[in-house]
Structure 1
């Protein structure tokens, strides 16, 4: 079962402060710089479909996949004729068509902890693209993570129905370039006064430019670029999030 199954219902509330509109405009700009004729996008690891919804508003037809049935159930509440969603594993998915672009956003690639899983996900992106298609993904950036080590964080959000408190406790595994983020999420029901606790561990791999370039080249991607996510600057030791762009040739 996907680690997101139980808390999919609270996902949008937890990330209501995430600027999906701004991020979609950033991805749109990068896509247009690569190719003005991109119309059809496959999004690997779509979650509840928030990036997809905003990119759809910018004129794209998008198909999102996610291995969490609960996430896709939430995403399907937002679907339209040209915005569709499907349960699927980004490591094994076989697209029934070829897309102009493939995206994988909000650190989905960093959930691919082993080299085998990472290469499999990158290969799915490659196989799903048309010739000269564009692949864009973001991930945890190793130099930034190691310069500003993960810390315990507490997040509190609420709406008219519930209050959610999420405590994130990190555990580092330096030899594997992994951070296990142990989440304890407390949900308080405002109507009944009842509460429940969800415990999950998100295993995140931080990546370095040379290893990403090697894997992308091995699969067949070319013209690789790397930016600090949200800009076109080179990532630095202050960058936790990097964005990679490559082309299927």
Structure 2
């Protein structure tokens, strides 16, 4: 494992937020609305959003009437998220690989925030921590990409200009990871970052969940909660207990 982990560095830069500033909040909100209604979560539910980034899902879940805690490794993101805090919305710096002190009625792991680690056992450890952090009848909602669709539609090279920064992006699937290299010149310096997400298909994911004793209740393929189909689904969304 590299000493400096890519996500610790990249997620903590201002450039990460610039590159992805047009992420679709409407999609995120549609998903949160649909999944909380589908699970019929009572308003007394305490939800942990992990990792929460700058808190966009957390803030929306809180606006639906839920008590929400957001945890993320990136201090930069948490300091932005903290501006939204209120009596029922709190944010804290938390590494998913560390156990939680509290337990929650539901834990959401959203927007491909998983599969960052070299070793499978580290990914499994995170699921174990999540399971240990759930109350008895608590739900775990896991939202990952559909790797098979990614593989089929992989854009090997792309250039994006955001806020006068030209991002040169290359993608490949190598050694069991989907790798995205991002190069750009900003603030008088050439900069280079890499995103690496493990190639976890439905079969492998199920084996992870079985290892920690999660029972899978549903598998969806998009934010409208249509059934998962490895050929066409955008997402691989799992609801477990």
Report the TM-score when normalising by structure 2.
Answer: 0.86
Query: Aligned Cα RMSD in Å?
Result: 2.1
- What is the Cα deviation at residue 229 of structure 1? 2.6
Task: Tell me the alpha carbon deviations over residues 78-107 of structure 1, each in whole angstroms, 9 at most, x when there is no partner.
Answer: 222222111111122x32221111011121
Task: Tell me the alpha carbon deviations over residues 187-231 of structure 1, each in whole angstroms, 9 at most, x when there is no partner.
Answer: 3xxxxxx54443111111121112211221221211332211322
* Alignment partners' CA distance in 2, 1:223 and 1:241: 16
Residue 10 of structure 2 aligns to a residue whose secondary structure is: coil
Residue 110 of structure 1 aligns to a residue whose secondary structure is: coil
Look up the match of 1:199: 192
Equivalences for residues 218-233 of structure 1 within 5 A:
218-233=211-226
Structure 1 alignment gaps of length 5 or more:
188-193
* Alignment partners' CA distance in 1, 2:79 and 2:104: 23
* Alignment partners' CA distance in 1, 2:64 and 2:165: 32
Equivalences for residues 114-129 of structure 1 within 5 A:
114-129=119-134
* Alignment partners' CA distance in 2, 1:239 and 1:172: 19
Figure out how many residues of one structure are paired with residues of the other and give that number.
233
Residue 36 of structure 1 aligns to a residue whose secondary structure is: coil
Look up the match of 1:190: none
Task: Tell me the alpha carbon deviations over residues 1-56 of structure 1, each in whole angstroms, 9 at most, x when there is no partner.
Answer: 5123552x344443332222432231232133224325211111111111211222
Look up the match of 2:116: 111
Look up the match of 2:144: 139
- Structure 1 ranges of 4+ moved more than 6 A: none
Structure 2 alignment gaps of length 5 or more:
none
With over 3 angstroms needed to count, the CA separation of the structure-2 counterparts of 1:164 and 1:83, relative to structure 1, is farther
* Alignment partners' CA distance in 2, 1:165 and 1:106: 24
2:32 and 2:57 in contact (8 A); partners too: no
With over 3 angstroms needed to count, the CA separation of the structure-2 counterparts of 1:6 and 1:179, relative to structure 1, is same
Residue 221 of structure 1 aligns to a residue whose secondary structure is: coil
Confirm whether residue 181 of structure 1 aligns to residue 180 of structure 2.
Answer: yes
